[in-house]
Amino acid sequence: MTNTTPDCFVTEKAGAQPLFAVRPAGLEAFLAKLQAKQADYLRASGFTGAAQELALLPGAGGIAGAVLGLGDDSSPRAFGDLAYRLPAGKSWALQEGDYDSGAAVLGFALGAYRYTAFKPPKRESARLVLPPGQERAVSEAAAICLARDLINTPANLLGPAELAEAALRLAAEFKAEANCIEGAELERAYPTVAAVGRGSARAPRVAQLRWKGSRAGTGAPLIALCGKGVCFDSGGYDIKPSAGMLRMKKDMGGAATVLGMARVLMAADLPIRLVVRIGCVENSVSGDAMRPLDVIRTRRGLSVEVGNTDAEGRLVLCDLLAEASDERPDLIVDCATLTGAARVALGPELPALFCNDDSWAGRLLAAGRNRHDPLWQLPLWDGYDSWLNSSVADLNNISSKPFAGAIVAALFLRRFVAPGVNWAHIDLYAWNDQTQPGRPEGGEGQAIRAVCAAIEQSVIAS
């Protein structure tokens, strides 16, 4: 896998060209401060300060600087395509302007990312002089790029063992406790994870990470993160068509996302206790694979009829949620590339949020808006809960009706969360179908900044 932080920052200002960022309302004042020839050039070229507009300033040595138009965009996206639009290999120093420096640093870094494990980029990126005090932006960029790297890695190179190892490496980086459960212990402790992974030659496992901030006492808030880590999803015996299987290396995007969240929270040294669990499996077809209408036991003791082997993600998560909620954390967040229904409802850029606590839902949604990392809430509609009924088991893993697939999946997961425990479920896409500013085509770490900001704000408020 590639480095988790893009190689796009420098600390030395010497030789760096000035980079200005301007909004339309401030354009005339900006032009008045420029050299007359440069101002005349911008006016003659029709520069307006619109979002994503970029002009290179002429000078005696050729290029004397660059001007980026921001329009009314205050998000990191405004700076998201600079790394490959500015001259290759050059260093640039941000100048003061009407923008947030953290957003600029984050956007530049996210746009500079490319997955280069097998193919170098077509050209070298530009580099940004890192302004002081931007540790959080760099940390968030590193976390998102970690998630992207994991999601982008081909499934033949990232199986359950390798995904679990990535969690253990992250734990070692931040001196967290970590362990990996597999074999007979996995069968006992996480029977549904074992059932999903039984069809693959690559054995399933659960990776756990426990960490406590340097200022966290024994009563510090306990945050639990759970991630679906299906390294490849064939659909099992209910096999997917080839088009539906094409991007299933990204079906571990939930696990990659919670590892990114954990990285941000630990790097910030928040006064919390953190527990991360990821179920690392491959959903394959073999003589040992689970079959339609099999009945499996869960950690919670509930029996589940397998109505569809391609609804495996909720089986991976349910045992993790049961264990996490039994510890009575202040909040559980689970992340998963769980349903196509969520994408039909909200598209690829809006992760669906389900939450059993209105206060936490409000915090998460507000943080998503403020950090330009949006979530959209869908309901845990009790009226659909009976759709999970089974005639032979406590519940089925799929609905008896063809509607509201994302809601029904969330209701399935809710059965395994202990009463009274705050829980948020995020159904995400974890992928960019095409390159946009700050979001290159491929794996994407969605909701990382929103969730971490909501947790941090809650800790500060308490």
Active site residues: 240, 314
The helix (run of H) or strand (run of E) holding residue 153 is none
Beta strands in 153-204 (DSSP E): 177-181
**Tokens at 246, concatenated:** 């094409």
Cα-based angle 249, 250, 252 (whole degrees, multiple of 5)? 100
> What are the strands of the beta sheet with 91-94, ordered from one edge?
9-10, 127-129, 91-94, 17-22, 62-69, 54-59
| Rounded-to-integer distance, Cα 214 and Cα 85, Å | 42
Pairwise CA distance, residues 8 & 281, whole Å: 34
Nearest to 431 by CA among 118, 111, 106, 151: 151
Question: Cα–Cα distance between 131 and 139 in angstroms, integer?
Answer: 14
Give the C-alpha separation, 162 to 144, whole Å. 18
Tokens representing residue 368 in the block? 């998503």
The per-type count for the chain, helices as H runs and strands as E runs, is 14, 19
Structural contact between residues 159 and 231, judged by C-beta atoms closer than 8 angstroms: yes
Question: What three-state secondary structure class fits 62?
Answer: strand
Q: Which residue has the tokens 């943080």?
A: 367
Residue recorded with tokens 């809601």:
407
Name the one residue in this structure whose structure tokens are 């202990």.
418
How many whole angstroms separate alpha carbon 277 and alpha carbon 42? 54
34 contact partners, CB below 8 Å, separation of at least 6: 42, 57
Task: Map tokens 């509930």 to a residue.
Answer: 302
Q: Is the dihedral of CA 324, 330, 335, 341 positive or negative?
A: positive
